[in-house]
Structure 1
Amino acid sequence: MRLTVKILQGSECSVNVSESSKVCEVKACVEQALNVPVSSQRLVYKGKTLSAEELGVSDGGKIHLMVKKGEGVTGVPPAPGSSHTPASAPALDFFMQLDSFLGKHLTQEQTDKVVNEFRKNCQLMVDSMNFEDIERFAASNCTKF
């Protein structure tokens, strides 16, 4: 059976797998086609993360690939006490600009607290978004949630 795997606002590929294929086999095909390590892949079909052994996707189905942040991804160093690493240079620019702006009005300790709290709140918002929310947010040029 033929499946389409698409990265949000990115490339896509088609993979051929048998109907009895497991999720791990599809991830291995995606790794070869899109050069995304299996450990960094989260496959979503009809709004649900594929994590069980059985694939449960029909022939011609479209699977969305969410790339997890982590090893090998460059970006902002984690905030002190933070367990996540934002994965893009624009995030680095934004948080650096926020830090710079707040630094003109607050002490460094206050600035650090505000920036870290803002980072945490942004991450919570992103973590709560489903695929449709992400598509809508991206389509609005990241202006409407």
Structure 2
Amino acid sequence: MKVTVKKLQGGECTIEALPTTSILDIKRQIFLHLKVPVEEQKLLLLGRTLADDQTVQGYPIKDGTKLNLVVKKPEGLYEVALKYFKKLGMTDTESVNAANRLLKISQEKFNKLSWDDIDRLCRDCLLDESGQSQPAPENEPENDDIYSL
């Protein structure tokens, strides 16, 4: 069956699905068509959020059904750090202080990088996101910690 996915901010695609196709698999197909990372996708059918671990047959989805795609804002370093520190058992105040220290230290370290280091870091991030890897040039160290972060 064909399912149309409409991105609320504009854009749409048509996905081929079977009744046994998982919602997570649909999200992976959406990534291939619309380039929205799976973890940032929220699929809605008639205002109801679809669960990743469910299959198409678990919902009233048939040929020609339209799903709405909401793109969730990715969490920033501060929010992720705050959650991490809270998981470690820190109080709210301790977590906020630790997250603020982490941001300050990260900014200080980043400010000390050369333009070449920043270029390599950006290139590595882009390659990592695309699932590609690039061997280090012969004159560069193969140390993973060259950015000293």
User: TM range, normalised to the smaller chain?
Assistant: 0.3 to 0.5
Greater relative contact order: 1 or 2 (C-alpha under 8 angstroms, separation 6 or more)?
A: 2
TM-score scaled by length of structure 1: 0.47
TM-score scaled by length of structure 2: 0.46
